[in-house]
Structure 1
Amino acid sequence: MAAKEFRPAGHQFALSFIDGGRDAVERTLIDHVEADVLRSAFLNVQDEDPVPAYLHSALCAMSLPTQKPKDEFQPIIRSDDRYALAINPKPVLQMLPNGERAMVSKGVPYGAYPRVVLIYLLSEAVRHKSRDVYLGRNFADWMRKLGYANLSYGKRGSAHRMLDQIDRLLACEWQIRWDSEPAKGEDGSWAFREAKLTHEQAGTEFSDGSFRREIRLSETFYSHLLEHSVPLNEVAIRALKEKPTALDLYTYLAYRLPRVKSPAGQRLTYDQLAKHLGNDAVPGKFKQAVMRSIDLVTSVYPNANVQFGKHEIRLMPSPEPMAKKLIGSHLRLVGASKAGSGKEVANFEPRSSVPKDKIAPASGNAQLAEKQPFPGGSIRYSPSLAAFREIATRRGGGYDMDDIVAAFRKGMRDIHEAKSQETWLALFSRFCEAYATKRNGD
């Protein structure tokens, strides 16, 4: 597996930061339409002190739908090696437009909003060591706590969509089953325990329309949460709060990577990851979603040592996302290891020079300004095609990079015309996405 052909944006930023500090990150050139957003997310995590947030390990390993399911009223069932998760939409008593009351099912929660709400609820429970979670004085106050300062109203506004997802989330019956530790001498093969997320099956408002200011976790779930909470960084959650797939990847990696003990790491296929996350997309499209999201995830979790190949992912031992120092072999460790610690720590002392391949040329640099035909040679090995190689790996859907560049050279009528490298990179990036989309549809 050619695991090192692709380096996510967050790892590129971290390398620049180690070598040249914040200024080097500001000059780092990456091929991404949201390069400024990624850079800002990385620097925010580096500048701000980590703020602890928490999620139950079962909810890190298994997640909600990213989009509205075809049948939103069917229960969601997820399974992992150790956990099983069932989310059952239960009907609640509501006032209908005609003034009558009826039992109405809202359906299952989906998208980014319920993920952020879950992290908030469980973080508050762990921080305050209480299963009674205070939401806020009113809805707007709570939204500010969740990081949504600018709410839009109306049927399609963010406030309406958030209220709908919260109603779905709190009205569902949540069940988590896990292998319990058997007593000494007993067979634990059928030893399971079960816990509901809350005792309540109610939405965010009472019958008189007032805001529900507090929610109570079930005692069994709360007790297990305290034992199996996974630390996250709230600063990172703020950057991911609009991206459900990125949130899933972040929480999954936060749970799995610190538990990887083998220096060789653990291998995971894209199909296995899709099953973990409960993503129903076709394999090719799911892989594209992962590759689009990992730049943002590594920007807020640069210590995540995860390597991407054509058919599989390799999870390597990594610190928790709360760790402030940039640590890991994927970040080209600097400095000597501490005696007896077995760990190497990156030296944060900025160097006077920054590697040229990590730093964007100045605006007048001849390399970008000089126009020339698309370069020849194998994209896999030619040093002059390193930037194109990275684009093919990231945006080519896992297909052979030399096949992609051959199709690009064949399909581009003006392949021999002189263009700046920046223009060629942009054209090739769009071509890779179109190539992957077409192949996935074959």
Structure 2
Amino acid sequence: MSNHVQRIAQQAYDNVVLPNDHNQLLFQHTVLCQVYLPYRDPGIEQKNWVRQQGKAYFAIRATEVFNPATEKFDTILGLPYGPKARLILTHINTLALQQRNPQIEISDSLTAFVKSLGLAHNGYQIDAIKNQLGRLASSMISIAFASEEQRSFQVDSKIIKGFDLWFPKNPNQRVMWDSCITLSDDYFNSLMNHAVPLDRRHLAALSNNALALDIYTWLAQRLHRVEHNKKEFVHWQGLKEQFGEGYDRIDKFKSVFRHTLQLVLTQYHSAKIQEEKNKGFYLHNSPPPVPPKLIQIPKVGEY
């Protein structure tokens, strides 16, 4: 592992404010550990985003929201993207699982969450996170699993079905977000059955890198499912299709993926992944980043 990667990881970890309990968790939906949101802002013009990985399928579509100034459904906030959208989802997933209730309050916990991830909890960061919340709230999603028997299970809904946006009088200000959100019943029920536990310290150290977060969550849900004493192979082309948004050249993607993987492995130490030169990687059975015996939904207020 390069000194540069170690230095970046240590700097990120040094900025994290940790509680006494080092086993606090965050949760991501298993489909979003395999297929991902955009890395960069696709722009208002792009309203659909569709991804597939193996038997998991994910689609998200930006919808119009009601603007009280015009009394019309004419405002498009855009698709959620980047590391903040990913982190927000783990946060609201965890709150919903903590409370075992699809209706959650986020106002007090949001600033604490931002701080716990080592992000500057200033107005700019909070506004950026609220902007991503608005994008998530105004988007429709489809999550599907296909089986070998040509059967499928599919959820079509919003992640967030109830939300309160406010429109500032100054048109140059961003549309903002209120404190209470309600997850859709379909998403909440699917999450209850398909939540992947993640170590909050790991996400904090990777919190500014969307690709690193994606690689980490992919390994977290994948490696422990590899059969003992066996290994699975993933080709570079498959990795590029899964993670290579925005990369036209495979050699450039390989360089970025290798570097980011090393960053991930500074956190997920027990991950066993071995490169076969110029071909891809072997995945070996590995303990998940959170041992099953430590998986306990933390109580509200423990952030």
Name the TM-score class by shorter chain: 0.7 to 0.9
| Aligned position for 1:249 | 215
| Kept after mapping to 2: 8 A contact 1:196/1:218 | yes
- The answer to whether 1:215 aligns with 2:187 is no
Distance 1:235 1:139 in 2: 17
| Aligned position for 2:280 | 312
Distance 2:253 2:115 in 1: 32
Amino acid at match of 1:114: A
Does the C-alpha gap of structure 1 residues 141 and 196 become closer, same or farther in structure 2, counting only changes over 3 Å? Answer: same
| Aligned position for 2:165 | 205
| Kept after mapping to 2: 8 A contact 1:78/1:84 | yes
Superposed, 1:149-228 pairs within 5 Å as 149-153=120-124, 158-179=125-146, 188-198=149-159, 200=161, 202=163, 205-206=165-166, 211-228=177-194
CA deviation after TM superposition for structure 1 residue 301, in Å: 0.5
Distance 1:212 1:138 in 2: 13
CA deviation after TM superposition for structure 1 residue 152, in Å: 4.9
| Aligned position for 2:253 | 286
Does the C-alpha gap of structure 1 residues 108 and 267 become closer, same or farther in structure 2, counting only changes over 3 Å? Answer: same
* Counterpart selection for 2:67 from 74, 87, 94: 94
| Aligned position for 1:404 | none
* Counterpart selection for 2:269 from 292, 302, 309: 302
| Kept after mapping to 2: 8 A contact 1:112/1:247 | yes
In terms of mean alpha carbon deviation, does 140-149 or 70-79 score higher?
A: 140-149
| Kept after mapping to 2: 8 A contact 1:138/1:213 | no
| Kept after mapping to 2: 8 A contact 1:138/1:211 | no
Does the C-alpha gap of structure 1 residues 42 and 160 become closer, same or farther in structure 2, counting only changes over 3 Å? Answer: closer
| Aligned position for 1:276 | 242
| Kept after mapping to 2: 8 A contact 1:92/1:201 | no
1:49-106 Cα shifts (integer Å, max 9, x gaps) = 22211111100000111122367523111112222111000011225xxx53441112
In terms of mean alpha carbon deviation, does 106-115 or 139-148 score higher?
A: 139-148
TM-score (norm 1): 0.57
Distance 1:213 1:152 in 2: 16
| Aligned position for 1:61 | 34
| Aligned position for 2:3 | 31
| Kept after mapping to 2: 8 A contact 1:117/1:166 | yes
CA deviation after TM superposition for structure 1 residue 48, in Å: 6.7
CA deviation after TM superposition for structure 1 residue 215, in Å: 1.7
| Aligned position for 1:347 | none
Does the C-alpha gap of structure 1 residues 84 and 274 become closer, same or farther in structure 2, counting only changes over 3 Å? Answer: same
| Kept after mapping to 2: 8 A contact 1:136/1:142 | no
Superposed, 1:415-434 pairs within 5 Å as none
Root-mean-square deviation over aligned CA pairs: 3.0
| Kept after mapping to 2: 8 A contact 1:117/1:146 | no
Amino acid at match of 2:204: R
CA deviation after TM superposition for structure 1 residue 190, in Å: 3.6
Amino acid at match of 1:163: K
| Aligned position for 1:17 | none
CA deviation after TM superposition for structure 1 residue 131, in Å: 1.7
Does the C-alpha gap of structure 1 residues 190 and 211 become closer, same or farther in structure 2, counting only changes over 3 Å? Answer: closer
| Kept after mapping to 1: 8 A contact 2:38/2:80 | yes
1:3-55 Cα shifts (integer Å, max 9, x gaps) = xxxxxx3xxxxxxxxxxxxxxxxxxxx432x533324567989x972221111
Distance 2:12 2:126 in 1: 25
Name the structure where strand makes up a greater proportion of residues. 2
Does the C-alpha gap of structure 1 residues 275 and 127 become closer, same or farther in structure 2, counting only changes over 3 Å? Answer: farther
Name the structure where helix makes up a greater proportion of residues. 1
* Counterpart selection for 1:238 from 198, 204, 212: 204
Q: SS of the counterpart of 1:238?
A: helix
CA deviation after TM superposition for structure 1 residue 211, in Å: 4.4
Q: SS of the counterpart of 2:161?
A: coil
CA deviation after TM superposition for structure 1 residue 140, in Å: 4.4
Superposed, 1:356-435 pairs within 5 Å as none
- The answer to whether 1:104 aligns with 2:58 is no
Distance 1:287 1:172 in 2: 32
Does the C-alpha gap of structure 1 residues 206 and 188 become closer, same or farther in structure 2, counting only changes over 3 Å? Answer: farther
Amino acid at match of 1:254: A
* Residue ranges of structure 2 left out of the alignment (5+ in a row): 169-174, 293-303
Does the C-alpha gap of structure 1 residues 288 and 148 become closer, same or farther in structure 2, counting only changes over 3 Å? Answer: same
Percent identical among aligned pairs is: 23
CA deviation after TM superposition for structure 1 residue 279, in Å: 2.1
Amino acid at match of 2:150: S
| Kept after mapping to 2: 8 A contact 1:48/1:235 | no
Distance 1:92 1:64 in 2: 20
CA deviation after TM superposition for structure 1 residue 134, in Å: 2.1
Distance 2:29 2:83 in 1: 17
* Counterpart selection for 1:79 from 52, 72, 95: 52
| Kept after mapping to 2: 8 A contact 1:112/1:243 | yes
CA deviation after TM superposition for structure 1 residue 147, in Å: 4.7
CA deviation after TM superposition for structure 1 residue 144, in Å: 3.6
Distance 1:48 1:271 in 2: 40
Does the C-alpha gap of structure 1 residues 295 and 72 become closer, same or farther in structure 2, counting only changes over 3 Å? Answer: farther
Q: SS of the counterpart of 2:212?
A: helix
CA deviation after TM superposition for structure 1 residue 231, in Å: 1.2
Distance 1:72 1:230 in 2: 32
Amino acid at match of 1:286: F
Q: SS of the counterpart of 1:300?
A: coil
Amino acid at match of 1:100: T
